Amino acid sequence: MAEINEVIGGYRLRSLLQTGATSQVFEVVEPHSNRHFAMKVLLPESESNKELRYILFHEAEVGQKLRHENVIHILKVNRGEHSPHFIMEFFPSGSVRNRLMAKDFGFIKANAMKIFKQAATGLAYMHGNGWIHCDVKPDNMLVNAAGQLKMIDFAISKKIPKGLSKLFFKQAKAQGTPSYMSPEQIRKQPLDGRADIYSLGAMFYEMLTGRPPFRGTTMPDLLNKQLTEKATTPQVHNQDITDEFAALLLRMLAKKKEERPPACHDILIAMRKMKILKTDPDPVVEPGM
């Protein structure tokens, strides 16, 4: 396991940010420039695993193609036999999941509109560049004290299938996080940006109510609810949510993708004219809107 002050690929490890089942994320320093970055490196016991190496390099390749203020940018990848890793911009913050676990609902309430718009904007950019994130959830949204957001983790991101590729689409297993997976992900069907919109709706729902829209006693039970059960209005759990935003959330969580907002841009346009919470100040509508 890598240690603080160790040098990997010319970068000195400064602090451990996160440890996962197969990898670690460190804050690192480039000695000659003294610039700070983040490094994701496979654990020693994972570095010879072909599947895990592929996932790491796939995440790096997707992130290198994306340049947007709400999407973490991956700068370079090292495919070496030992300590395979990639370097990304350093964004000092915790995740939305950290805020939820800390029950920091005051911060979430104060920054909800800013967070929601940035998440939808980052996804609109990804979709516009032909990518589906496929794992939108609070854990993969970094947000700092100022409410600035960056989306991370493209390990299972996919190109949006077009033309004949839709006909020959084949997925060996369902990929995603069960509490946020769209019905079409669970069914291993061809995906487009509306799959991410479903997951985004589940994340918004949890941020505003403190609980995901669906819970199950077992994994099959949870997945079955994602497939068949209509989401309860979030106002049951938080009466401060406006009727307009509750309706938008329920549209995002529609089981049939045709019934969801067609694109993230539509969500952003709708949000310009509405309040999330009844106690929020009235929105400032731009001239001509």
What's the CA gap between 117 and 127, in Å, rounded? 15
Can you say whether the dihedral through the CA atoms of 173, 83, 71, 177 is positive or negative?
A: positive
Residue-by-residue DSSP string for 8-54: ETTEEEEEEEEE-SSEEEEEEEETTTTEEEEEEEE-TTTTT-HHHHH
Tokens found for residue 264: 């993230």
Tens of pLDDT along 6-40?
Answer: 999 999 999 999 998 999 999 999 999 999 999 99
**CATH value at residue 18:** 3.30.200.20
Residue 282 lies in a domain: no
Residues annotated as part of the active site: 135
pLDDT interval class at 142 (50, 70, 90) = very high
Q: What is the pLDDT of residue 172?
A: 64
The whole-angstrom distance between residue 161's C-alpha and the CA centroid of its chain comes to 20
Tens of pLDDT along 44-54?
Answer: 999 999 999 99
Co-location of 34 and 176 in the same domain:
no
Residue 288 lies in a domain: no
Whole-structure pTM value = 0.92
pLDDT interval class at 207 (50, 70, 90) = very high
Q: Are 88 and 104 in contact (CB under 8 A)?
A: no
The residue range of the domain holding 162 is 94-272
**CATH value at residue 220:** 1.10.510.10
Number of independent structural domains in the chain: 2
Quickly count: other Cβ atoms within 10 Å of residue 165's Cβ.
Answer: 11
> Taking residues 112-134, what's their average pLDDT?
97
Sequence-separated (6 or more) residues with CB below 8 Å from residue 66:
73, 74, 125, 126, 129, 131, 154
Q: What is the pLDDT of residue 167?
A: 54
Residues β-bridged to residue 30: 35
Residue 233 lies in a domain: yes
Q: Are 237 and 72 in contact (CB under 8 A)?
A: no
The dihedral over CA atoms of 108, 178, 189, 158, expressed in degrees to the nearest 10, equals 60
Residue 146 pLDDT > 60: yes
Co-location of 163 and 198 in the same domain:
yes
Residue 166 pLDDT > 70: no
Residue 241 lies in a domain: yes
What's the CA gap between 289 and 287, in Å, rounded? 6
Helix (H) or strand (E) holding 229: none
Residue 79 lies in a domain: yes
